[in-house]
Every structure is written in structure tokens, then in C-alpha cells.
Amino acid sequence: MSLAQSAPAPVVGNPVDAEWLRQRVDGALDTFLTGQERTLLAISPQLGPVCGTVRDFLLGERPTGRKRLRAAFCYWGWRGAGGAADEHGAVAAAAALELLQASALVHDDLMDHSDTRRGLPSVHRRFESLHRGSGWHGDAAQFGGASAVLVGDLLLVWCDALFSECGLPRDAVRRAKPLLDLMRTEVMAGQYLDMLEPAAVWPAGEAGAVERARTVIEYKSAKYTVQRPLQLGGLLADASADLTDAYGAFGLPLGEAFQLRDDLLGVYGDPAVTGKPAGDDLREGKRTLLVAETLASCSTADARLLNDLLGAPGLDADGVERLRDVITRSGAPRRIEDRIVALREQALETLASAPIREPQAREVLRRLVDAATARRH
Amino acid sequence: MSLAQSAPAPVVGNPVDAEWLRQRVDGALDTFLTGQERTLLAISPQLGPVCGTVRDFLLGERPTGRKRLRAAFCYWGWRGAGGAADEHGAVAAAAALELLQASALVHDDLMDHSDTRRGLPSVHRRFESLHRGSGWHGDAAQFGGASAVLVGDLLLVWCDALFSECGLPRDAVRRAKPLLDLMRTEVMAGQYLDMLEPAAVWPAGEAGAVERARTVIEYKSAKYTVQRPLQLGGLLADASADLTDAYGAFGLPLGEAFQLRDDLLGVYGDPAVTGKPAGDDLREGKRTLLVAETLASCSTADARLLNDLLGAPGLDADGVERLRDVITRSGAPRRIEDRIVALREQALETLASAPIREPQAREVLRRLVDAATARRH
């Protein structure tokens, strides 16, 4: 089991995908899941589909691979605070964040009624198929949805279980645990606000959309994906208040830049590279900052077209093209690119002066800024 | 705030409803929620409906009142292991189990598509109404369902947050935390199996239904409601292995008896006393042990009638009556009553010899056996 192996020297080429770290995170997840599967199957063999679905969701092969971004930021936050490179407990704690992310994805897909996740059926669809394929009684869709609620809940509980039992000294866990709980509250708040955005009716011409989109990015992405994981890793290694603050000041702009790049890729990304259909976000009707910026500056006619077509059922390639034109015309992409540059500068400046104790960590985090802001997928 | 008050002598008349304990549990929940509301509203005032819904769900007036059963068993498990009567930390830890229960109810109602909970709209229906009443865009039902997923997730996370920060020494929390995580895994497994029961197609005439119904009771009710809360309270007070085992041997039969009484009340209960419609479980189509026992012993004609009418849409009073007759004819209620008596004896015997350190705790637990097995609502 890879957790038992000694860690080779870290590859810093592209740390987000650093194979050595990902292998260790996967090893920690594998060990943990094996224990939970033992518990579940001892209760009843009928829990087999739950075990199988969770294992495949977390460890099954995926065409686009897995970034394990949150685990990576947690681990490098640990290293930057002086934590040992091959400390299995830190890797296990970092892996717990991937259980949280899996829970969020399972529940997100259910809330959005998404049929797929990374090109494979979403969890509620898998259980719906299990129900249909088995010729069971009752409503297959309801069974699928209910199963996904339970699987997401299990993953949320297991995030705690793995984090609490990661193997680091109890004081380390105790220091970091409140931030893990805050991080989870923040991301759920961000998800609710994100969901509210397209639903709520806002006062005509009110200018709050851009601000609200920023709040969603801050809580649903920046804090959740970068800032809190970094700070969690730091606290596990007893980071100073200065370093924790520096991680905060570095993680927020980097996390926002990462999300803004994601938003641009969601509209202009090359399907061959992103692995997602062209204009995916437009089809899903996501109310990103890019969309808010467009609405804040485009003509009334363009605004109407955007509101009509964004997320419209059966939006075709032509519709996607028309939406792209509206967004491009508005100049919003340019402004978003400028903001990414500014955020990148801000992150790099903070990083340069951060009281990071391990040079390699600073170097890896610097490269993460490049990976996050210049990536094409 | 009631946690700050000194505790009066415990009322042992009916400890499940013991006002003094319930007030303290509610006080702990109130304090905790106030802090979380501050966090959420600082993120955005638009999270107001989330705060309001959670507060009302946990602390709002309810016609039938609240048993706070899990908190009570946790508290008395603590007392029985020698924990101090007015230890606020123990009350807060016990209150965390009520956050877990609230999460389970919010998600259960969503999974079952239940419109109401204790006579008031279920959480997904509340958010659906918020969406409709506000004239928002999109699918109100989808918004309601998604909101309920997030609210249940929040409550699940908050269970941990309150338990971890209950204020007891870190060693106490550390001793009990793994059992809290196991308890949550067990109850979710039980919920999945419970959901599977009416859905799955079982081999004709296979005799496993009674066994499976017992497994569901064990994991969804007995361990979750009685055994684990007792053991959790005990571990928080550093209970000996002997006492933890004794709590286990006492809690399991008591928890099963409690659920079996519930099953009988769900079919024969007096609506005026239970506060639920007559034959509620029959309308909901619950596959209880009572139903499994009936199917195991009734005539083929009765079995067909039971399978046809149980949970049938728009089942009327006459249908309920016919189902009751089938169940009564089968002799299952008698066998369930006999089992309750046997379980009660088993629980009382274990209790009598349990190495409980506080006489009052033994007395209260003895009365809880009566309350659980002889209750009429």
C-alpha cells in the first residue's frame, strides 16, 4: 500500500499533477475506503453497490485524470510550514479534502440533475440504472436520487473520519479541525448563493450582479479550493499566524484567478483539450463573473439575447456561437483576462514575502500560480 | 443563555421529556446556531432563509414537542459513567446528536418526497414555496430539493463542529469521535437498506425479509437512537470497557423494542395521541418488521392484498382497515408484542448488572425502558 512506501523526491514539474503526491493521496483513499467497505459489507452484502460506486467515483480511471487540487494545496501548505515531505498523516489529512470534494460533486450533480460527471454517469443516474436494470419496484429516478443523497452524506462523514484519524498528533488535528468545519460551511453557503443567482429576480438594472458573482467565487471556489486547504495544511504543521495570514492573502487571489480561467475555458475552451463540450458553461447557463461582466456592459439587445439563450434547453452550436459573440463584443473577456493578470501579480507578490519555511514549497506554489492562471484545461 | 445557568436537580419523572435537560440541549443548540448564523450572514444576507429554516426546524415550537431522545441517551450515558450533572460540554456534545438527527430528517423527507414534517412543511417544500412566493425563475421544486440537500449537508457538518468544540477536554472528544463517525456510517447504511427493501425484487418465497427488517431496525434505529448515543456519552466520561459493553448490550434490545413499539403505533396508534394520521405507516408503505412478520405467516390471498394496498396512492380509511385486518389475522402483532416483552426483559437484566457509577442514571435508564416500550405515542 503506497502509504507504506517511503516518499521519493517530489517532482516539481507540474505539482498539481505531481504523480508522486497523487499516488500517495490515492493510496490514503484506498486504505481508508477498504476499511469503510469492510464496515459496510459486514452490515449487509447489499451495500456492495454503495461501496463500488464510491470507490469508482474516487479512484476509478478517468480520461482527464484527476488534479487532486485541494489535497495538493493542503500538502504544500503543510510543507511550507515545515512539515516533513513523507509524513503519511499529512497526506491522509489532505486526502480527506478529496472525500469532501467527492461529496460536493455527488450532491451537485443531483441538485443540477446532471446526467454525467467526467463523461461517466453521475451517481444518482448509476443507482437509477441499478434500479431499472434489476427490474425493481417503484420509481427508479427517486431511488437514484435518494441513493445519491446518502452516498454524498457518507462521503461528507468520511471526510471527517479520515481527517480526525489521519495519524497526526491530536494537537495538530485539533488546531486544524475548526477551519475544516468553517471551510465546509463556507462552500455550502457559496453553493446556495450560486444557485440563488439564476433563480432570484433582481431589481431592474441593479448593479450588484458582479459583486454577487465575486462573492460566489470567493466562497465556492477561492477559499474552498486554494485558501482553506493551504491554511489547513499549515495549521497541521503548526504554522505561525503570519504564515497562516500569508496563505490567506496568497490563496484568495490565486483561487479567484483559477476560477476566472475556468470561466473563460467554459466559454472559449477547446473541447479537444478541456474534455468538455464547447461552451459547456453556456449550455449549463452558469451565471459566472464573465456573464455578469457582460451584462453590466453590453447593449440591451445583447442582454436580452444572453438572458434568453443562456442555459436554454437544447442550445445548439449556433446558439453557443451567438452567445460567445455577445460576450466577446462586451469586452468582458478582456477585463477578465486583465483581472487574472492583476490577481496573479497579487498572489506572486504575497508569495515572495510569505514566511514560508521550505524553499521547495515556495517554488511549487509559484508554479501552481502559472498552472492555475495559464492552463488550457 | 441556559448553558450559563447552573443545573437544578434532574427531574426523573420522564427523563425523555425531562424539561431541565431539554432546556439545556436547546440552549446549547441556540448558542451554536447563533454563531453559525453570524458566519452565514456575514457571507451574505441572502443566506437568511437558510438560517431561519434551520433555526425553526431545530428550535421552533412543535405541537408534539420534541423528545431529544439521542441527546438524552448520550447525556445519561455520560452520567452513568460518572460524568458531572451540570457539565455544559457534555450537554453540548449530546446536542450535536440532535443536529445529526435534523440532517437525517431533512434528507429523509427529500428522499421520500414528504410534504410535511411534524405537521409543518418539509424543508424542501419550504424552499420550493420561497421560490414560488418570490416569483423567481426556473423550477421551484428543483430549487427546493437542492436547498434541502445543502441544508442537510450543513447540519451534518455542524454536528461535527459542535461535537468537536463541545468544550470537553480534547482527550474526551478524541475518545468518542470515532464512534460518532461509525454511528453516522451505520445509520446511512441502515437508511439505504431500508430504502432497498420495498424496491428490490426478492426470490419468490424467500424467508429473508424478517431478517432484513431486523438488520434495518438494528442499524437505522437501535444503534442510532439508543446504543451509540449511550456509548458516546460513556466514552466522553472515560467509561470502562465493561460499561461500554454493558451500554451496548442494554441499548440494542431497548432500541429495537422502541422501534417495534413505533411500528405497532404506526398501524394501530390513536391519531389523537400519536399526532399522526391513523395507519400512517400503512399509507407510507413502510416495510417494517411487523409487515415482514405478517407476510411470513399470512395466507397467499392476504399477502397479495397486503402487497397491493401497502403504500398504495390514495389509500383510504377502508383500505387502512383492510390492511389492519390482514396484519391482525396473521398474529404478527401478538408476536411483536411478545418480542417487545422479551427485549424489555433483556434490557432490564443487562441494566441491573451494568457497572453504572451513578444510581440516578440507572434509575432514569430503567424508566426509559418503560417509556420506550409502554408508550402510546
Report the DSSP pairing between strands B120-121 and B116-117: antiparallel
The answer to whether B148 touches B102, Cβ cutoff 8 Å, is no
> How many angstroms from the chain centroid is the CA of residue B28?
19
Q: For an interface test with B, give the residue of A38, A44, A179 to mutate (most B CBs within 10 A).
A: A44
> CB–CB of A134 and B185 under 8 A?
no
Which distant-in-sequence residues (6+ apart) come within 8 Å of B245 by Cβ? none
Interface residue A211 vs chain B (CB under 8 A): no
Query: For every one of its 377 residues, what pLDDT tens digit does chain B have, with 9 covering 90 and above?
Result: 333 334 444 444 445 457 889 999 999 999 999 999 999 999 999 999 999 999 999 999 887 778 899 999 999 999 999 999 999 999 999 999 999 999 999 999 999 999 988 888 999 999 999 999 999 988 999 999 999 999 999 999 999 999 999 999 999 999 999 999 999 999 999 999 999 988 887 766 667 889 999 999 999 999 999 999 999 999 999 999 999 999 999 999 999 999 999 999 999 988 877 777 778 889 888 889 999 999 888 999 999 999 889 988 889 999 999 999 999 999 999 999 999 999 999 999 999 999 999 999 999 999 989 888 887 76
pTM: 0.93
Which distant-in-sequence residues (6+ apart) come within 8 Å of B83 by Cβ? B90, B233, B236, B237
Low-confidence stretches of chain A (pLDDT beneath 50):
1-14, 16
Interface residue A125 vs chain B (CB under 8 A): no
Which residues of chain A make contact with B47, given a CB cutoff of 8 A? 189, 192-193
3-class state of residue A57 by DSSP: helix
- pLDDT, one tens digit per residue, over B98-120 is 999 999 999 999 999 999 888 88
Which distant-in-sequence residues (6+ apart) come within 8 Å of B81 by Cβ? B233, B234, B236, B237, B238, B239, B240, B243, B356, B357
Which residues of chain A make contact with B187, given a CB cutoff of 8 A? none
> CB–CB of B193 and A43 under 8 A?
yes
Distance in angstroms (rounded) separating the CA atoms of residues A199 and A332: 23
pLDDT for position B9: 43
Give B 75-104 residues with CB within 8 A of chain A: 103
The label of the residue with cell 467509561 reads: B239
pLDDT for position B292: 92
pLDDT for position B2: 37
What are the angstrom distances between the C-alpha of B235 and each of A12, A60, B70, B80? 45, 38, 15, 11
- Domains in chain A: boundaries: 3-373
- pLDDT, one tens digit per residue, over A123-137 is 999 999 999 999 998
> CB–CB of B192 and A219 under 8 A?
no
pLDDT for position B206: 65
The answer to whether B257 touches B373, Cβ cutoff 8 Å, is yes
pLDDT for position A204: 60
The answer to whether A213 touches A287, Cβ cutoff 8 Å, is yes
pLDDT for position B7: 41
Superfamily name and number for B3-373: Farnesyl Diphosphate Synthase (1.10.600.10)
Amino acid at A265: L
Cβ-in-10-Å burial (0-12, 13-18, 19+) of A293 comes to: buried
